[in-house]
Amino acid sequence: MISGITVYVLWLREMKRFLRSKSRLIGALAMPLFFMAFLGMGFNRMAVPGMSGDVHYMRFLVPGMVGMSLLFSSTFAGLSVLWDREFGFLKEIMVAPVSRVSIVLGRIAGGITTAILQSLAILLISVLAGFKINSLWGLTSAVLFMVLIATTFIGMGLIFASRMKDMQGFSIIMNFVVFPIFFLSGAVYPLKNLPAPVRVLSFVDPLTYGIDGLRGSLIGVSLWPQHLTLGVMAICALLMVALGAYFFEKSESV
């Protein structure tokens, strides 16, 4: 049985940890902003093959950087599981009279909130730098895609964290997994430019559909209809949460 109080307490704990860790926020924002600063300014006046002529590279890049922030902050949310296992907190909540599904949902809720706050900060900085959002409805739609992207990759992070016990090993493995997901997603270049075999891999990458949905919402340009990308992301989010909950339930607290 799902306990709303348990979900809230774990969400609140994650929010307090996030707000007290200024270095975590700065680190999460630094890489996407560097990409926007150097790639965006460097290629903004260049014609990029595979991109519509009326879309400047910076407008193309910003949704990709929002997706990048969501990917990295969400997957590494699983690190908190290993941290709690290392210092005994996980053992305490695992023996508490609450369902493990509530524990998983609380962690996911906290991870989603922090990931979206970081992504909205990047979007705000982009707007201040001249990026124009397509419409108010587009912003609302983009937030929905942010929630689905964050949910998908928090679930993935929980799967890996539930199967591992070493924090250093988790970071190495997640970097090995995350960077191919990022570069296959079309975040920094149009998918049309990729060779056909590599493009096939992009089509099985959930982030590809998330970033395409963000582009459709924020700048009105996308490869697929919004309802298609929304459906794919919803399926991926549900699947990853279910798998994350399953592996977390099977994991050991020590």
Establish if 126 belongs to a structural domain.
Answer: yes
Residue 1 has pLDDT above 60, yes or no: no
Q: What pLDDT, on a 0 to 100 scale, did the predictor assign at position 206?
A: 95
Residue 69 has pLDDT above 70, yes or no: yes
Contact 130, 32 (CB under 8 A): no
Establish if 211 belongs to a structural domain.
Answer: yes
Going by C-beta distance under 8 Å and a sequence separation of 6 or more, which residues neighbour residue 181? 71, 205, 206, 207
Residue 253 has pLDDT above 60, yes or no: no
Establish if 91 belongs to a structural domain.
Answer: yes
Question: Which among 106, 97, 77 has a CA at the least distance from the CA of 178?
Answer: 77
Question: Which among 208, 75, 214 has a CA at the least distance from the CA of 151?
Answer: 75
SS3 content of the chain, % helix, strand, coil (to 5): 80, 0, 20
Segments forming the whole domain that contains residue 245: 4-43+54-250
Establish if 157 belongs to a structural domain.
Answer: yes
Number of folded domains in the chain? Answer: 1
Question: Tokens representing 192?
Answer: 């049309």
Average pLDDT, the chain: 83
Q: What is the reported pTM?
A: 0.90
Establish if 48 belongs to a structural domain.
Answer: no
Establish if 216 belongs to a structural domain.
Answer: yes
Residue 249 has pLDDT above 50, yes or no: yes
Establish if 49 belongs to a structural domain.
Answer: no
Residue 108 has pLDDT above 70, yes or no: yes
CA distance 79 to 101: 18
Q: Percentage of the chain surpassing pLDDT 90? A: 30
When mean pLDDT is compared over 3-17, 88-102, 193-207, the highest value belongs to: 193-207
CA distance 193 to 243: 33
Contact 167, 83 (CB under 8 A): yes
Establish if 244 belongs to a structural domain.
Answer: yes
Q: What confidence tier does 145 reach under pLDDT thresholds 50, 70, 90?
A: very high
- Return the H-helix or E-strand segment holding 92: helix 89-94
